[in-house]
Structure formats: structure tokens, C-alpha cells
Amino acid sequence: MNTLSAAPSGSLPVCPSRLTNDWIDQYQENGYLAFSHVLSPVEIRASRQALADITRDLSQDPRVDYTPPRPPTSTSNQGGARYARAGTPLSMHLESGYDPVGQDPGDVELKVRKYCGFSGEAAVFQNMLAPSSRLRAVVDGLLGADPLLFQEMALVKPAFIGSEKPWHQDNAYFSVMPLEAILGVWIALDDARVENGCMHVLPGGHRDGALKHHHGVDCQINPALLDTARAIAVPVPAGGAMFFYGMLPHETPPNRSPERRRALQFHFRGAQSRLVDEEVYDREFRNREGIPASCRSASRRGF
């Protein structure tokens, strides 16, 4: 892994209010763009506070559905306790092996690994997604007018115990066509560095087609299928963001550092894209040998 060629987080370009053709060319060439100052310091603070409020609300409200942790296994990082508010998309997932019952919300917050469906919970999230926002100026510049937000997660790597997200292409998890019409936005709420689990990408890898996914600790690509010597780390300062193709292979390593790493992630699809059924997607998202390569096809085939 070529971590030395990663840009120091302070040296990212400031997010432009409008994308020039040079930026668009760079996106098409490398499969991603990374900018600082997508969120203001006020938005960073408000986002962190909103996640803390969600943690307190979910972990203290007896009406919320609670799933206790499963015994940790070496093969899955998804057996942690979960909270979900019925009738809403909001849920919160904790790291494996942690029992939050009876714990202080401040302690629980330090063990969260993921929030789903959170954007309706605070104005700061709605504002950053509004058509007039800096974030949307980039998304619209890359995907065209009126992109559709179809997935949102806040992804956290707690200090010392944050688990890895192995190599994958986000399109392996979806079933949207055409494949180029998906864009992920990953926004750092803390300085994201190699040590606390920043993004690592394979520049240009979005042009190499679909790679076979299987279920290991997560739905992932066998690294032997990737030229990981080409991989680079993409450190991003708090408030900065990476915009990337759904076909771009990427991963984040575990966090063994004392610094927590929080991020927001949104997925948009182009206005003309469409959701297709599994059979249609299997014909589209297949590897060089013609084998269906998505996470769902891996589940069906038992790997």
C-alpha cells in the first residue's frame, strides 16, 4: 500500500463552489475527488452534536427496538448491539462485543460503528443536502441535475477498536443501472488519517469493471484480485469530503489509534438511473469471467 503518496490532509484543495471541466476530467480519470471545507466548522460541530443526541435518544428510550450483541466471531464485524426506532429509517449499530445496557450514553457513543437513516434528525444534515449547498454543487456537477439521494450512513471508527471495512465496490451492494450513475460522498467529521482509518482507494480502479465480492468480515473483494500496490490513502481533514464512483475499489483499515474517526456517507444516483431486479443486475455487475459479482449474488451462491 502506497501510503507515502497520500496527500497530507492539510493540502487538499478547498471545495469549489462550481466544478470546472478539469475537476470533472480528474474525477473520470481517478474515480474520485477529495476537497477540504465542504462543511464549515459550525456544520462540523452541529453534525457531531446531532450524532451524540441521536445516541442519547436511542439508547435511553425504552420504546426503541433493541437487539443485544451476538457473541463476537472472527468472521463478522456486524454482530454488535443495535437500536432502531420503529416506523422510521433511523438505526444505530455498535461495535461487536460491547453490551450497552446500563451504560452512560457518553460511553455508548464511543462504541458506535454506524448510524443509518439519520438525516431527518437534524437541520444540519438537511441543510448540507439542500440543492444550494456546497456538497450538492459538486454532486450535481458530477451526476447532473436533480440527483436522487438513496442511501445515508454515518460511519464511525471508535478509538482503538474501530473495525476495518475491507476492499469493496459500493455498487456490489446496490442494484442501480447504469453503473456509472452512482456517486458516494464521504465526509470526515474528525481529521481522518491513516492511523484512525481514513479512506484508501485504487485510483482508476473504477474503470476495471466489477470485481467478485464474497462474504468475509463483510461483503468484500479478495485483495488478491486487486493491484494493491497502486492503492493510496486519502487523508481528509474534518469538514472535507471524498466524492467517488460506485465502481471505485476502496477500503478503510481498523482504528488502533486513540483518536475516534466519525464520517457521514451519502449515496446519490443520477436522475435518469433506475433500480433493477437481481436478475437484470447480475447480467450487468459481473466480473471479467462473466460471473455475477454483487453481494446478493454471493449470498445466493453461499459465499
Ligand X SMILES: O=C(O)CCC(=O)C(=O)O
Binding site for ligand X (CB under 6 A): 155, 157, 165, 170, 197, 250, 252, 263, 265
Cβ 238 to ligand X shortest distance, Å: 14
Environment class of residue 224 by beta-carbon count within 10 Å: exposed (0-12), middle (13-18) or buried (19+)? exposed
Cβ 157 to ligand X shortest distance, Å: 6
C-alpha cell at 148: 436522487
Q: Which is nearer to ligand X, 66 or 214 (CB)?
A: 214
SS3 16: coil
Cβ 132 to ligand X shortest distance, Å: 26
| 244-255 exposure pattern, b = at least 16 Cβ within 10 A, e = fewer | bbbbbbbbbbeb
| 34-68 exposure pattern, b = at least 16 Cβ within 10 A, e = fewer | bbbbbbeeebbebbbebbeebbebbbeeeebeeee
Q: Which is nearer to ligand X, 155 or 181 (CB)?
A: 155
Q: Which is nearer to ligand X, 162 or 270 (CB)?
A: 162
Cβ 20 to ligand X shortest distance, Å: 27
d(CA 191, CA 187): 10
Q: Which is nearer to ligand X, 64 or 113 (CB)?
A: 113
SS3 178: coil
Q: Which is nearer to ligand X, 197 or 239 (CB)?
A: 197
Cβ 111 to ligand X shortest distance, Å: 15
Which neighbouring-strand residues pair with 25? none
Q: Which is nearer to ligand X, 170 or 282 (CB)?
A: 170
The two most distant CA atoms of the chain are separated, in Å, by: 54
d(CA 251, CA 220): 9
Cβ 156 to ligand X shortest distance, Å: 8
